[in-house]
Amino acid sequence: MWLEVGPSNNSPKIVSRYFLETIQQLGGCPNICRCDLGTENKELEEIQIDCLRYCFMDLLQEELHRIVIQWNKHRIQVKKQCCSPKGNPDVLFFTPEPYGARDFKVNCSADDIRNCFENFGFAERPIHGCSTDFLELANLILPNHQRPSNVNEACNLYAQFITMFNQYDG
């Protein structure tokens, strides 16, 4: 139901926030949830991870948003091996009945959703996907840098940061 680039898929608070935001957007929750156990990537140092997030996360999120829009507007073709209906995913999802399907959403009130946000301490979305410590460090090391608007700019910014970090570390 969502595609989000986040600082972690291992923090229950972050994943729960994405889930609850989707429930809020749809005004209901699924009847059944299936989840995987996930894994952690311990290969990279924390500063490299923050640096990658800072340089690329906004671009990745923009691309995911474009993919969601494109996918939800494309037309699903009839497949001989499959029994799913043809049509536009957005239309099929929001109006399943004309296609012989049923809406399994359980309606949730705005008050219930707000109470979940207030009572379960969901993590706030970090700015540019990285820690506030890294944001401060980035602004100290490269004070007037521009946010990247494409992959090449993001790669160049990442290389600049790593070069600067290596100079301080060295």
Q: 3-state class of 136 per DSSP?
A: helix
Which is nearest to 158 in space by CA: 57, 46, 48, 55?
55
Q: What is the pLDDT of residues 107-123, one digit of tens each?
A: 999 999 989 888 886 67
- Mean pLDDT across the stretch 3-12? 73
pTM of the model: 0.65
Asked whether residue 37 carries a pLDDT value surpassing 60, the answer given is: no
18 or 103: whose pLDDT is higher? 103
Residue 169 has a pLDDT of 53
Report the pLDDT value the prediction gives residue 45, as an integer from 0 to 100: 67
Q: What percent of the chain has pLDDT over 70?
A: 83
Name the amino acid, one letter, at 39.
T
Q: What percent of the chain has pLDDT over 90?
A: 24
Q: Which helix (H) or strand (E) holds 16?
A: helix 12-26
Report in angstroms the alpha-carbon separations of 35 from 5, 10, 15, 38: 17, 12, 11, 9
Find the radius of gyration of the CA atoms of the chain: 20
Please report, for residues 72, 80, 120, 136, the alpha-carbon distance to residue 139 in angstroms, rounded to integers and kept in the order given. 38, 56, 32, 5
pLDDT-derived band at 31, boundaries 50, 70, 90 = low
